[in-house]
Structure 1
Amino acid sequence: MMEDKKENSQKWVRGITYLWAFPMGFIIILAMLFHLFG
């Protein structure tokens, strides 16, 4: 039971990390493009 809970929480952490990482990377790329062409 405890093992299942641990796996589930790891899945949540990974999902949250992806949700944070994708927009942040996108914003950084946009900022770099604006810096190059702006």
Structure 2
Amino acid sequence: MAVNLLEEKIESEVEGEGTRTWERGAIEQQLGERMSLDNE
């Protein structure tokens, strides 16, 4: 559930402000790590 909220936040930031690529990459990396932990 939390992951979906973060993804929506990223999408709204990208649409609204054009989030910097490195910022987005860092957030996506965190999301990936969290999903990996959740799947174990």
Which range, TM-score by smaller chain? Answer: 0.5 to 0.7
- 1:9 and 2:6 are equivalent in the alignment: no
Runs of 5+ consecutive residues of structure 1 not aligned to the other structure: 23-38
Match of 1:26 in 2: none
| Identical positions, percent | 5
d(CA) in 1 for partners of 2:36 and 2:21?
Answer: 23
TM-score by length of 1: 0.53
TM-score, normalised to structure 2, is 0.51
How many equivalent residue pairs? 22
Question: Where do 5+ consecutive residues of structure 2 fail to align?
Answer: 1-18
Looking at structure 2, the residues matched to 14 and 21 of structure 1 have their Cα atoms a distance apart, in angstroms, of 11
Give every structure 1 segment of 4 or more consecutive aligned residues whose post-TM-superposition deviation is greater than 4 Å.
none
CA RMSD, 1 decimal: 1.5
